[in-house]
Chains A and B, each alone.
Chain A
Amino acid sequence: MSIVEKEQAIVAEFELFSDWMDKYEHLIDLGKALPAFDPEHKTEQRLIEGCQSRVWLAAAYDKGLVYFTADSDAIITKGIISLLVRVLSGHTPQEILDAPMDFIHQIGLKENLSPTRANGLLAMIKQMKLYALVFQQQKSTNWQEANTN
């Protein structure tokens, strides 16, 4: 499935919920379903600090494709990041860099991406694209963990 197709699938999935609370219930379920990081993996290096909640993001590169894992201390934030991981994980750096990420707006979670909300989500998307850029510029396509520092 291409990134755009994945985004369309998520929009269709959220169209089932007419009520705000149902939508959030679904995000909570998604958040709970996303595997948590082991405490030792919640390193400073992986931390994206927001003023409301904290997000940890890790990336790996294998056979030309980027794989993301992420966690958050807030469950709804975690639900939203699980969507970001679902959409962007398993794609080439170029596909990730070109990803429109319009679905966040389309499913009505736009305010979660406002810079003032500062829950780390906007920073997380930037960081995911930054990882893609770093991997793209590295010559080897073998497995490696990212280090953008």
Chain B
Amino acid sequence: MFEVDKIRQDFPALSQKVYGKSLIYLDNAATTQKPQVVIDAVNEMNNGINGNIHRGIHYLSSLCTERYEAARETVQHFLHAAKKEEIVLTSGTTAAINLVAFSFGERYIQNGDEILISEAEHHSNIVPWQLLCKRKGAKIKVLPIYKDGGLAVKQLPQYLSPKTKLCCITQMSNVLGIVNPIKEIVSIAHTHQVPVLVDGAQGIVHQDIDVQDIDCDFYVFSGHKLYGPTGTGILYGKEKWLDAMPPYQGGGDMIASVSFEQTTYAELPLKFEAGTANYIGAHGLKTAIDYLNQLGLPAIQVYEQSLLNYALQQLLLIEGLQIYGTATPKSGLVSFNIKGLHPADTAMLLDKMGIAARSGHLCAQPLMQRFGIQSMLRLSFSFYNTKEEIDKAVTALVKARQMLIH
């Protein structure tokens, strides 16, 4: 039995009122609320356990370094990575993708090369590749999705050519919630000698991840969507790639020795961690992962899936409601439109009823174009949400519909 009422007490944000109404937070795909243990962990460090890491020999520096490296190890185990040197701490998914786009791109992408992405990518997994292509004279190719939102994996071999140098695919669409068969995708890409970057920003929150089993070359995610602090994120990269890639940013912490003539770089992973790292955030992220492990990932996933199934069932009872992405497996979130309603209007009314939902292009304009629309409304769930909250959201949607169409 998943004791959601008890779990909710771990999250102080959930008990607040907005506009005099109890908050119903259904924008978890954008960011999740933080458990008290994470808030305490960050506060404790800001309150005194603060010394810049790696170079100091004093007590606070050592303690912070220890915590920072412990965070790296926790992430390593969470992802089932072979080595902790393969875990680079970044400020988030976007920063991690940009790092690969720059450093991998610098080393491996040339004029005329191709980078394959999917039609269901977040802007963060499109724009860095476009910038890279512009710099190098390379081209983006787009693996399409079917009408039901499922990725056309069968067509993948046709999209891979000797010019393809990297394939960048989301584990789970932030719009459709559809979970892609990334292990199969990696396997197909590898038979064509194409490495794969997996955008795990949404996937890591709802799925198990074993980077060795999947055999992906890069895996990226954000801490703030995983109940950790904002400004934290992870780049996992196979050692052979990270070793071969030049540094992204220069500065302190990423060097072995510096003279005005020449600099030698630090070993992995510090080569990619220039400047003062967000060690307080890293400790917060470690605490969040420990918290999730304590709750138990299988229990979380079963509960979240039951919430999604319930939400899908209830939403379909609303007249004129169309769900985007009916393919399976689908996880964690649902995006839809209601006939005759603009999602911005609906979201504004929900907001005034205390319900946090997201409307707009959801940072995936190409996907909006695919469905021939401007925007959608999205509800996204966490294990701290309840069926009662979904009922209230559905009631609020019905009320919004009555107000907007009469």
Contacts and interface: CB of A to CB of B under 8 A. Distances in A.
B383 to A, nearest CB: 29
Contact of A53 (B344, B352, B403, B404): B344
A76 B345 contact: yes
Interface string B115-149: 00000000000000000000000000000000000
Nearest to A112: B348
A101 interface: no
Interface string A20-48: 11001100100000000000000000000
A89 interface: no
B8 interface: no
Interface string B373-394: 0110000000000000000000
Interface string B317-353: 0000000000000000000000000101101110011
A48 to B, nearest CB: 14
A51 B345 CA distance: 13
B374 A54 contact: yes
A59 B369 CA distance: 30
Contacts of A24: 348-349, 352, 403
B342 A53 contact: yes
A74 B345 CA distance: 6
A75 interface: yes
A73 B403 contact: no
A82 interface: no
Interface string A63-85: 00000000001111100000000
Contacts of B352: 20-21, 24
B183 interface: no
Interface residues of A, number: 15
Contacts of A76: 344-345, 348-349
Given A73-B342, A76-B344, A119-B344, A52 B359 contact: yes
A20 B19 contact: yes
B361 interface: yes
B360 interface: yes
A51 B360 contact: yes
Given A20-B352, A52-B359, A52-B360, A75 B19 contact: no
B344 to A, nearest CB: 4
Nearest to A51: B360
Nearest to A119: B344
Contacts of B345: 28, 53, 74-77
A113 to B, nearest CB: 13
Contacts of B404: 28, 75
Nearest to B365: A51
A120 to B, nearest CB: 10
Interface string A127-148: 0000000000000000000000
Interface in A103-125: 119
A25 B405 CA distance: 11
Contact of A28 (B19, B359, B403): B403
Contacts of A52: 344, 347, 359-360, 375
A7 B45 CA distance: 50
A73 B348 contact: no
Best-buried of B344, B347, B352, B374 by chain A (most CB within 10 Å): B344
B158 to A, nearest CB: 35
Contacts of B347: 52
A28 B404 CA distance: 7
A75 B353 CA distance: 18
Contacts of B348: 24, 76
Give the most central of B347, B348, B374: most A CB within 10 Å.
B348
B19 to A, nearest CB: 6
B403 A25 contact: yes
Contacts of B19: 20
A52 B348 CA distance: 10
B375 to A, nearest CB: 7
Interface string B348-371: 110011000001110000000000
B374 A73 contact: yes
A76 B345 CA distance: 6
Nearest to A21: B352
24 contacts: A20-B19, A20-B352, A21-B349, A21-B353, A24-B348, A24-B349, A24-B352, A28-B403, A51-B361, A52-B344, A52-B359, A52-B360, A52-B375, A53-B344, A53-B345, A73-B374, A74-B344, A75-B345, A76-B344, A76-B348, A76-B349, A77-B342, A77-B344, A77-B345
Interface of B: 19, 342, 344-345, 347-349, 352-353, 359-361, 374-375, 403-404
Given A75-B404, A76-B344, A76-B345, 13 more contacts: A20-B352, A24-B348, A24-B349, A24-B352, A25-B403, A51-B360, A53-B342, A73-B342, A74-B342, A74-B344, A75-B342, A75-B345, A76-B348
